[in-house]
Amino acid sequence: ACKFSPWEISNKARSVSWLLCTFRGRLYLTELQNRHTRAERAREPAREGGREGKERRGEGWGRE
């Protein structure tokens, strides 16, 4: 989604667009990672020592 050719757009516009794309991409990747981590945590609740319950109440780990 983030393809910009040097001859199409000015340097400034390109860098701004690239930053926006990268930022959005990072948010997306972070969300994917979070979902994966939550899934893993839900699968092994015993080993995590009840961290899931804390997260639901918005304490500790859930706030990061």
pLDDT bin (cut points 50, 70, 90) of residue 8 is: low
Nearest-5° Cα angle at 24, 23 to 25: 90
pLDDT band for 49, please (50, 70, 90 cuts).
Answer: low
The pTM for the full model equals 0.35
Q: Is residue 5 pLDDT above 80, yes or no?
A: no
Mean pLDDT of 21-27: 81
Residue type, 47: R
